[in-house]
Structure 1
Amino acid sequence: MSDASDYELSMLVRALVMESNRFLDIFSASHSLHPTDMTALNLIMTARFPMTPGALAKALNMSASATTSVLDRLERAGHVVRDRSPEDRRRVELRVLSAATAVASAFFQPLAVEFSSAWSSLSAADREVVARFLAATTSATTRVLDAVSDPASAHEE
């Protein structure tokens, strides 16, 4: 591949996002999950710390009442529970149930296998470049999302 322009890289990232979204749509539909529910479930599953309903509402850019509706649906479907924090009983934490994790793992395993196959010819140095590229691209996306979701903060510098 010749040197890729910013536009070409942007189009490749866009194509990856579109294909990933199609994959998620299939998973969501096969498990009767609304796309917002799927997004919420993914946020809860991938959070570095126990997610709270308030943090989820902020991440989804939704009101507390709309987030409660999402959590109610996820709870009824057997995907998520709301537990009291062992450190602070006033704090509610969201936890994905192991059955939901197992279903997701089974569905996404073929994609993980295909990724591994696609990446098998990459050297360690190539993988490091790809990892830096993906991290930088994700950070750039997050910065723009933050500015779009909170336009006042974009003018505070």
Structure 2
Amino acid sequence: MVDNSTLVRLLRQLTVESDRFAELFGERQRMHRTDLNALALIMDARWGGEPMSPSRLAEAMHLSASATTSVLDRLEASGHVERTRSARDRRKVELRVNQKALDLGRAFFTPLNEALTRAWAGFDEAEKEVVARFLAASIEATVAVRTDLAE
């Protein structure tokens, strides 16, 4: 039987290793960790079907408007992100990850994706459902506690 302290330790270890992996990508691309986090949030918004705006990004990252502008300026200058006018409302700016960034990310992260796929091959669909539910609940709990502490 696996106790909760073991699960917390394993999640912490996964977080540390994931951070180390992302930091290696950042070092190779000469990107700040904040820039990497912003890029991830912009990509996640794209996959979620809701374009990211500078104000939503600032809120999600808990940054001031000027700090968010600095992040976006760096990401735009490095060719990773573009600021475009919304097709639905020309007054709004939408952030988009360009193809160069997607290609760089794909090239770097594909080996990890392949290794994880091999590591998970021994899990059946029911087990994967449990793991997905566990991870979603863990994320939700972490966000809730972080939000409470921030207030």
TM category, shorter:
over 0.9
Distance 1:132 1:87 in 2: 35
Aligned residue type for 2:14: L
Query: Gaps (5+ residues) in structure 2?
Result: none
Aligned residue type for 2:52: M
SS class of match (1:45)? helix
Distance 2:100 2:54 in 1: 21
> Counterparts in 2 of 1:50-129, with a 5 A limit?
50-129=51-130
The residue aligned with 1:155 is none
Determine whether 1:10 maps to 2:12: no
Distance 1:92 1:142 in 2: 27
* Identity level (%): 49
The residue aligned with 1:35 is 33
Aligned residue type for 1:75: E
Deviations for 1:16-53, whole angstroms, at most 9, x for unmatched residues?
00000000000000000000001001110111210000
Question: Offset at 1:148?
Answer: 2.4
Distance 1:145 1:109 in 2: 31
TM-score (norm 2): 0.96
Aligned residue type for 1:10: V
Determine whether 1:22 maps to 2:20: yes
Query: Gaps (5+ residues) in structure 1?
Result: 152-157
User: What's the RMSD between the two structures over aligned residues?
Assistant: 0.7
Aligned residue type for 2:54: P
Q: Which 4+ runs in 1 deviate beyond 4 A?
A: none
How many residue pairs match? The answer is 148
